Amino acid sequence: MKHLSLLGETISLLGVDPKFRTINRQTKQETYWTSVNVNYEKGILVVLNNNIDQTQQIIQQYQLHYRVIQDQNIRILLKRIIEDEQLHLQIFQYFLNQFQR
């Protein structure tokens, strides 16, 4: 949750109201996060595989933002978040390997 706080604070400092949403660049339509986005599957292997997939997607999204955003302070924050997420990915992969044995 530390990342969420840091991102929310940064977004607020930029003068934008932080919200759990995505905005389609072409249509400007907002899609808000809801409980529909939660994966309710059970089983340790399924959960770990889902975490790995989601973390990989998150890393790609932060990397995209890192390439696009020119503000060095925001880039420092994004780089740190990417590093943290890469560590999370390694941890999930380690446990997946342990449970698959």
Reported as a single tens digit per residue, the pLDDT across 21-79 is 888 889 989 999 899 888 899 999 999 999 999 999 999 999 999 999 999 999 999 99
Which tokens in the block code for residue 51? 């975490």
Number of structural domains found in the chain = 2
Single pTM value for the model: 0.85
- Cβ neighbours around 97 below 10 Å, total: 10
> What is the domain extent for residue 8?
1-38
Residues 67 and 99 reside in one and the same domain: yes
Which tokens in the block code for residue 91? 């941890």
Give the span between the Cα atoms of 24 and 8, in whole angstroms: 20
Residues 18 and 54 reside in one and the same domain: no
Residues 44 and 25 reside in one and the same domain: no
Residues 43 and 69 reside in one and the same domain: yes
Where helices occur in the chain by DSSP H, the ranges are 2-13, 44-68, 72-100
Between 16 and 97, the more confident residue is: 97
